[in-house]
Amino acid sequence: MKIVFLLQASSTVAKGGAEYQADLIMNEMIEAGHEITSISDMVEKPGPGLAGVEYRYLKSRGRRLSLLNFSCLCKELDRINPEIIYQRDRVPYTGMAAWYTKRNSCKMVFNIANVDGPKKNTVPLNKLFLFHFVNEHVGRYGVKNCNAIVAQTFDQKEVLQRNFGRDCVVIRNGHPVPQPPFEKSSPPMVIWVSNVKHIKRLELFLDLAAELQDTPAQFVYVGRSSSDSYLKTLDERAGSMDNVCHLGELSYDKTNAMIAKASVLVNTSTSEGFPNTFIQAWLRETPVVSLAADPDGLLEKQEIGFCSGSFEKFVRDVRRLIEDKDKRTLFGRRSREYAMENHDIKKTGKKYLELFEQLLRQD
């Protein structure tokens, strides 16, 4: 089977969650013996990619001007002649791929990657209105006309049905399953992992550390710093706090090693699709405390952490796990059991392969 993975950026030029998930799925397809090509923008000089993947690059024009790559994209797809186009994260390429598949003998799968993917989003009235309006509607065209849609959560499935009247299959994000034991740091470590952006609200993690200075816990944050002046001030603030350490951007392996040592992983984002860090933590017996994001209410339903809802309760929930080793051990064990059943990449990879094969049988 010839499969094209079409993203705005591949992992050779960007290290976000969508790119990482695409890599994991590609790897499962390669192991199953399929022919994989990645098409993405040349955002910067690419680094090494996955063995067995052919990487093709389009001129980087940013999301606003991606439509200018339409002709080049079609030529690449004609050259490859794929049977399946897998497109992750709703961008103008979502609509372009759907247009192409309606006129050629291939199928397209769109994978929702965040909370905006299944929505009809409002376009702000500003000087970039025309660009955003066109791209929003090109994306909507893709959602309406692709052959199949994958959601990360049942919440996304419901929103998609309400906005577009379309059904989809829910396939959870998958990850490689690490082998125990997981040696936790003493004193307890509370970890925050993300690229440092405004919507991730790092300042609330620092506020949390300030509120819990009376505990023995160490607060560690991992992620690429921003050139934004406001976010630079957060790094400066962290540097003045005795119980906070910034490790900067780490590789996935080193990040996973730190998560495995942590007693609690915290999340302060305004919203998330399905955070990879949740799964990385669960698989390593690290419970999660989230201020706002809780996909499908899993933290509470599965009793594997807390979704606090307010900063005051956020502080109380983290304090509880710092001070109650038995509780965090119980949550950690439940977390791993849940994640092994629902987020093992070997299991989720098979679901993608079954979906691809099912689409091709429809002819």
Q: Which domains does the chain have, with CATH numbers?
A: 2-174+344-361 (3.40.50.2000), 189-342 (3.40.50.2000)
d(CA 231, CA 194): 13
CB 283 within 8 A of CB 304: no
Contact, 325 vs 332, CB < 8 A?
no
* pLDDT attached to residue 204: 93
Distances (CA, A) of 199 to 116, 128, 196, 272, 340: 14, 21, 9, 10, 29
Identify the H or E element spanning 63.
none
| H-type alpha helices, 296-324 | 298-301, 311-323
**What pLDDT sits at residue 42?**
81
Contact 266, 209 (CB under 8 A): no
Chain-centroid distance, C-alpha 235: 24
Distances in Å between the Cα of 128 and the Cα atoms of 113, 122, 124 are 24, 13, 8
CA separation for the pair 211, 233 (Å, rounded): 19
- Report the predicted TM-score, pTM, of the whole model to 2 decimal places: 0.91
Residues 6+ apart with CB under 8 A from 164: 118, 120, 140, 143, 144
DSSP conformational letter for 147: S
| pLDDT for 227 | 64
Please report the pLDDT score of residue 52 as a whole number.
93
Task: Report DSSP letters for 220-253, one per residue.
Answer: EEESPPPS-HHHHHHHHHHHT-TTEEEEES--HH
Q: Walk along the chain (363 residues) in steps of 10 and give the mean pLDDT of each run.
A: 93 82 96 96 82 92 83 96 96 96 96 91 85 90 97 96 97 95 93 83 91 93 75 78 84 93 93 87 96 92 93 96 94 96 97 96 81
Model pLDDT, residue 250: 87
Q: Would you say 304 and 328 are in contact if contact means Cβ atoms under 8 Å apart?
A: no
List C-alpha distances in Å: 68 to 74, 76, 88, 294.
Answer: 11, 14, 19, 37
Give long-range contacts, CB 8 A cutoff, 24+ apart: 328-331: 328/188, 328/263, 328/264, 328/287, 329/285, 331/287, 331/303, 331/304, 331/305
